[in-house]
């Protein structure tokens, strides 16, 4: 099996004129960028359009990428900022979470993605809605940090770079978000599956 080429080498190859290197970066990250766009818009068509626009912007900007952060951090930050600008342009007042990403994403983008059977989805629906409602009720800064950490799996340093805050501020927002969510979801945690 061929070893996965690091992002940084692909970027350097692209900067030397190898367009195929960008194709590989696109294949690697198209789903993640789509998920980011979908979380902001909650609309499949808008998310698809934004994904294309974001990668076009990345294609145009990648030649001047300076390696001051990882490629993924830069890509995520670019996607996030593009989505925020899009929402500002559309005058959308709040960012909402995705409802059910696998069932709402186009099949041709993610062949082989696991879609849970209906019985499993029904069992989790109430809990999912409670979690989504709790996360949506967080203050915007806490919500964003929580999503970046727990949904996107980013490290605190990467989150700090993306949101333009110090790590201490990111930690504080994450702590307060986690504490608030634990309080709001206590009936589900204490009640076990019988309540769900």
**Domain residue spans in the chain?**
1-98, 117-189
Tell me the percentage of the chain whose pLDDT exceeds 90: 34
The CB density around residue 60, as the number of other CB atoms within 10 Å, is 9
Q: What is the C-alpha to C-alpha distance for residues 23 and 193, in angstroms, rounded to an integer?
A: 45
Collapsing DSSP states into helix, strand and coil, what is residue 134?
Answer: helix
pLDDT of residue 126: 76
CATH code for residues 117-189? 1.10.10.10
Alpha helices in the chain (DSSP H): 7-15, 19-41, 44-61, 71-90, 101-104, 118-136, 140-150, 156-163, 167-184, 186-191
Q: Are 65 and 9 in contact (CB under 8 A)?
A: no
What is the arithmetic mean of pLDDT over 122-140? 78
Q: How buried is residue 53: exposed, middle or buried, by Cβ count under 10 Å (0-12/13-18/19+)?
A: middle
Distant-in-sequence, close-in-space partners of 25: CB < 8 Å, separation ≥ 6: 7, 10, 11, 14, 58, 71
DSSP 8-state secondary structure symbol assigned to residue 13: H
pLDDT of residue 161: 85
CATH among 1.10.1740.10, 3.40.50.2000, 1.10.230.10, 3.30.565.10 for 1-98 = 1.10.1740.10
**Which tokens sit at 15?**
């900067």
pLDDT tens by residue, 67-101: 888 898 899 989 988 988 887 777 433 334 444 44
Task: Tell me the whole-structure pTM to 2 decimals.
Answer: 0.56
pLDDT band at residue 166 under the 50/70/90 scheme: very high
pLDDT of residue 195: 43
Q: Which of 47-61, 99-113, 175-189 has the lowest mean pLDDT?
A: 99-113
Q: What is the C-alpha to C-alpha distance for residues 159 and 161, in angstroms, rounded to an integer?
A: 5
Q: What is the C-alpha to C-alpha distance for residues 12 and 25, in angstroms, rounded to an integer?
A: 12
pLDDT band at residue 171 under the 50/70/90 scheme: very high
pLDDT band at residue 119 under the 50/70/90 scheme: low
Considering all CA atoms of the chain, what is the largest pairwise distance in Å, rounded to the nearest integer? 59
């Amino acid at each position: 099996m061929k070893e996965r080429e690091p992002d940084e080498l692909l970027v350097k190859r692209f900067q030397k004129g190898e367009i195929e290197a960008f194709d590989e970066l696109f294949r690697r990250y198209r789903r993640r960028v789509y998920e980011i766009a979908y979380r902001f818009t909650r609309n499949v068509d808008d998310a698809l359009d934004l994904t294309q626009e974001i990668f076009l912007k990345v294609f145009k900007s990648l030649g001047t990428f300076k390696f001051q952060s990882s490629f993924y951090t830069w890509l995520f930050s670019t996607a996030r900022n593009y989505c925020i600008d899009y929402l500002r342009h559309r005058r959308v007042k709040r960012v909402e979470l995705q409802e059910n990403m696998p069932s709402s994403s186009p099949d041709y983008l993610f062949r082989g993605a696991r879609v849970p059977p209906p019985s499993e989805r029904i069992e989790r629906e109430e809990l999912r809605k409670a979690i989504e409602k709790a996360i949506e009720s967080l203050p915007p800064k806490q919500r964003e940090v929580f999503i970046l950490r727990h949904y996107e799996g980013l490290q605190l340093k990467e989150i700090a770079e993306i949101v333009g805050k110090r790590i201490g501020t990111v930690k504080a927002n994450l702590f307060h978000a986690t504490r608030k969510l634990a309080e709001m979801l206590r009936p589900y945690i204490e009640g076990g599956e019988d309540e769900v």
